[in-house]
Amino acid sequence: MPNASVLEQKKQQVAELSEKISKAITGVVVDYKGINVADDTALRKELREAGIEYFVVKNTILGRAIEGTDLEEMKSVLEGTTAIALSNEDYTAAARILCKYADAHDNFKVKSGFLDGKVVDVATIDSLAKLPSKEILLATVLSAFQAPIAAFARAVQAIVDKDGDSTEE
């Protein structure tokens, strides 16, 4: 039986993880088995730059953190090596980075994840990974809004140019 200080420390870890998960809009749970230090460092750097919090977690700690929540069904994948990536702002970044990494490394695989507090399957995470980033989506929407204005400006300029040509004759 663990002593009181160890038990208290584990309870605190569960509480901290539970709070992080409740604040996250998306999370991706992976099996990081077989990853070398250089690859792990590069992966962590890419995730950090995208604003994703990524860390290794014990299965029992994660299991306790999601106990009694809508995410409890993720317990079925909590075996082997487990790491979790949490995002508080970007829906696609964690899925995009981790799925790309999993495609390039045989031993690294996505186990499960969640989106807005609901568990999603690996196929949904793969679909999420294929979506463009928020910046690209915004740029696409803005260019769609600007297209009619730009066309109107070109039409007005053509009229001005035409009127300028007829007054010179």
Q: Which residue has the higher pLDDT, 49 or 105?
A: 49
In the sheet with 118-120, reading across from the earlier edge strand, the strands are 53-56, 83-87, 26-31, 109-115, 118-120
Cα dihedral 135, 137, 141, 144, rounded to 10, equals 110
- pLDDT for position 53: 93
Whether 143 contacts 99, CB under 8 Å = no
DSSP three-state, residue 3: coil
Q: Which residues of 32-56 are buried (b: 16+ CB within 10 A; e: fewer)?
A: beebeeeebeebeebbeebebbbee
Distance between CA atoms of residues 133 and 58, nearest Å = 30
Q: Which residue has the higher pLDDT, 153 or 122?
A: 122
Whether 30 contacts 117, CB under 8 Å = no
pLDDT range class, residue 1, cuts 50, 70, 90: low
Whether 85 contacts 111, CB under 8 Å = no
pLDDT range class, residue 85, cuts 50, 70, 90: very high
Q: What is the pLDDT of residues 132-142, one digit of tens each?
A: 666 676 777 77
54 bridge partner residues: 85
- pLDDT for position 90: 85
Please state the pTM of the whole predicted model. 0.73
Q: Give me the residue label for tokens 């995410």.
A: 71
Beta-carbon neighbour count of residue 3 at 10 Å? 8
Give yes or no for residue 155 having a pLDDT over 80. no
Distance between CA atoms of residues 14 and 161, nearest Å = 70
